[in-house]
Structure 1
Amino acid sequence: MGLTSTTVLALAVASAVLLFVGTVWCWPRLARRSWPAVGGRVGLLLATQVMLFASVGLAANQAFGFYASWADLFGQEKDQGVVVDHTPGVRSDGSLRVTETRKAREGGDFRPHIGGQVQKVDIVGRKSHIATPAYVYLPPEYFQPQYRDRTFPASVVLTGYPGTARALVDKLRFPGTALKLAEEGRMQPMILVMLRPTVAPPRDTECVDIPDGPQTETFFASDLPEAVGDHYRVDKGPGAWGIIGDSTGGYCALKLAMHHPRVYAAGAGLSAYYKAPIDATTGDLFHGDKGLRDRADLLWYLKHMPAPDTSLLVTSSKVGESNYKDTLEFIERAKDTNLTRISSIILESGGHNFNTWRREIPGTLQWISGRLGDQRK
């Protein structure tokens, strides 16, 4: 049974309840001052506490999608990683492979020309040699005969760290929200490419090209748009691509739009931070290279580098988000460039969680839709 299985959660809750009842029932018999009685009391209390915390942890993981599997939880995930192509300069026909299809939203129509479709894919980067799974949302218009020659704008959507790509579909409901907004005429039909920024697990690479390590910025800036564009009918002109992310994914989205404005015409960072951390999950990202470190500091970048010709959206809340002051500073620095276009969503209150991001996603999708393709502003 998987970590996110409802059965596992139900068993944990049932065990916690049974242990609590058992503790109450057996407590009088263990009231003696003998070592066996004391050991029995300690054991029952400890087991009850463990199962209680396990139940809470499993429920939180199901709600917020922190870990996808037991291997992911214990840092033992090995099914995805870096793939090396031993034929330099030769492109593989398998840079993107569809492995599964599903409905775009719960309760929606299975027929793709009416309800759209979500495809699970495997992507292999030609330059970075990174392989990762992703989900691709295709709007209903993609399958309708009258639009068979039409191309569509696309947006990359990133989770936080560690995150699960499926949470973008099931928990944050990006495909269902995009479908609803398009039906209401509030955004144009758009392809969404949903994945996590952890493309070289379990390391948190912060979308950096690490010296002698995973080239994750290259993957997102070059390989991913190329692989998706070759497989799907994505617009080829300027302003075809946008990028959205939350938390770590939000930092990546802003950075990629700033570093590669010719690739990403718009970038939205939900609850983003503005400087790559260095900790046990990232390791040494820059290998002592001050230039690389400064380039990854977005506040420094706006002050010292040529202003990127791109549109940026940042979000925060006055109460509940730790990035509020940095977000205000980022807005002011972007405004001072007179070239980088900056927008924001500032909530009165909202924590660093799925509930907050679900409140921001409709506005974010509508904003980015208006800045891509023919509707670019």
Structure 2
Amino acid sequence: MGLTSDKVLVLAVGSAVLLFAGTVWIWPRLARATWRAVSGRVALLLATQVALFASLGLAANQSFGFYASWADLFGQETGQGVVVDHAGRFGDGPVQVVGTTRALGTSGSLPRKSGQVQQVNVVGRTTHIVTPAYVYLPPEYFQPGQHTRRFPTAVILTGYPGTARSLVDKLHYPRTARELAQEGRMEPMILVMLRPTVAPPRDTECVDVPGGPRAETFFAKDLPDALRAHYRVSAKPGGLGIAGDSTGGYCALKLAMHHPGVYAAGAGLSPYYKAPIDPTTGDLFHGDKTLRNRADLRWFLDHEPAPDTSLLVSSSKVGETNYKATLEFIKRVEATHLTRISSIILDSGGHNFNTWKREIPAMLQWLSGRLTVR
């Protein structure tokens, strides 16, 4: 049974309940001062607490999508992905479609009415990175008379570790985009949803690691090239944006700042502004001071030419640790007089899915207003 299986959660909760009831029932028999009775009490308490914490952990993982599998949880997810060719059905190319579903929360099965979510593998032609993703195509993409229409496109990134699927069925990006478009609050938009972790389990922070994965090049060149080759996205600059939460938010801001000719806008929900170095990242820079400095967005604003792009950041006055850093970042961007900056500041909200779901509608509207299709 998989880590995210409902059966696993039910089994863990059931075990916790039975162990609690068993502890209450057997405890009087273990009230003696013998070593066997003491050992029995310790074992019962330990087993009950393990089952309780396992239940809470599994429930939290299902709600927030931290880990997709047991291998992912224990750091054993090392594969780069497998490219599945479907030449007879979907055609060859840097985007390989391996499955399709309708967007959650929509009625009807016809793509021209409900839109479509495609599960794909994206093949990096220059970096040789292969990573899974989900692509939301709005209903208009399939409607009669729209077959030559090109659509604004947003790359949406999870946090770390995160799962791409959580962007679909936990944060509800496709459903939200469809509802906003139906209400006339944003243009119909293609969403490309994936993890920033393109070399799992390593957290590359969207950096071109010397001698390692070239994550920044994948997002700045390979992914846009793949999208233009497979979908009706804008063939010229201005139609592609990028957004994400937490680690994905940092990556979105950095990619928009480093590559304004690729990404016309970048939105970071609860972002940070400097790549961390910890056991999940390893040594990202290998002593390259220039690379390390460029990964610090505040240093970049102070020492590099201001990028001609639009940025959005979010935080909360209570509940987020990045509040002061976000205000400082906003001031630095304003001082450039070229880079545009907007913000979403909540009165309260933690670093979690519930907070980001409150910010996503406004973020998508902001992003839609800054992308043009030519």
- TM-score tier by shorter-chain length is over 0.9
Task: Tell me the equivalent position of 1:339.
Answer: 338
Is this contact kept in 1: 2:61–2:67, CA < 8 A?
A: yes
Q: What is the correspondence of 1:29-178 to structure 2 with a 5 Å cutoff?
A: 29-80=29-80, 93-178=92-177
Deviation at 1:94, TM superposition (A): 3.7
Task: Tell me the equivalent position of 1:6.
Answer: 6
Task: Tell me the equivalent position of 1:89.
Answer: none
Deviation at 1:141, TM superposition (A): 0.3
Separation (CA, whole Å) in 2 of partners of 1:164 and 1:233: 26
Which letter does structure 1 place at the counterpart of 2:39?
G
Q: What is the correspondence of 1:250-329 to structure 2 with a 5 Å cutoff?
A: 250-329=249-328
Is this contact kept in 2: 1:82–1:214, CA < 8 A?
A: no
Is this contact kept in 2: 1:81–1:200, CA < 8 A?
A: no
Is this contact kept in 2: 1:345–1:360, CA < 8 A?
A: yes
Deviation at 1:29, TM superposition (A): 1.0
Which letter does structure 2 place at the counterpart of 1:363?
A
State the TM-score, normalized to the length of structure 1: 0.95
Deviation at 1:370, TM superposition (A): 0.4
Is this contact kept in 2: 1:82–1:130, CA < 8 A?
A: no
Deviation at 1:374, TM superposition (A): 4.7
- 5+ residue gaps in structure 1? 84-91
- 5+ residue gaps in structure 2? 84-90
Which region of structure 1 is more displaced relative to structure 2, 100-109 or 57-66?
Answer: 100-109
Is this contact kept in 2: 1:120–1:136, CA < 8 A?
A: yes
Deviation at 1:107, TM superposition (A): 4.5
Task: Tell me the equivalent position of 1:236.
Answer: 235
Which letter does structure 1 place at the counterpart of 2:26?
C
State the TM-score, normalized to the length of structure 2: 0.96
Task: Tell me the equivalent position of 1:22.
Answer: 22
Is this contact kept in 2: 1:82–1:200, CA < 8 A?
A: no
Q: Specify the SS of the correspondent of 2:100.
A: strand
Which letter does structure 2 place at the counterpart of 1:180?
E
Separation (CA, whole Å) in 1 of partners of 2:373 and 2:189: 12
Deviations along 1:345-376, one digit per CA (max 9) or x if unpaired, are: 0000000000000000000000000000159x
Separation (CA, whole Å) in 2 of partners of 1:276 and 1:172: 24
Separation (CA, whole Å) in 2 of partners of 1:114 and 1:107: 9
Is this contact kept in 2: 1:157–1:195, CA < 8 A?
A: yes
Separation (CA, whole Å) in 2 of partners of 1:356 and 1:108: 27
Is this contact kept in 1: 2:78–2:199, CA < 8 A?
A: no
Separation (CA, whole Å) in 2 of partners of 1:306 and 1:369: 26
Which letter does structure 1 place at the counterpart of 2:169?
D
Deviations along 1:6-50, one digit per CA (max 9) or x if unpaired, are: 111011000000000000000111111222211111111110000
Q: Aligned-residue CA RMSD in angstroms? A: 1.4
Deviation at 1:153, TM superposition (A): 1.1
Is this contact kept in 1: 2:241–2:367, CA < 8 A?
A: yes
Which letter does structure 1 place at the counterpart of 2:80?
Q
- Percent identity, aligned pairs only, is 74
Is this contact kept in 1: 2:151–2:373, CA < 8 A?
A: no
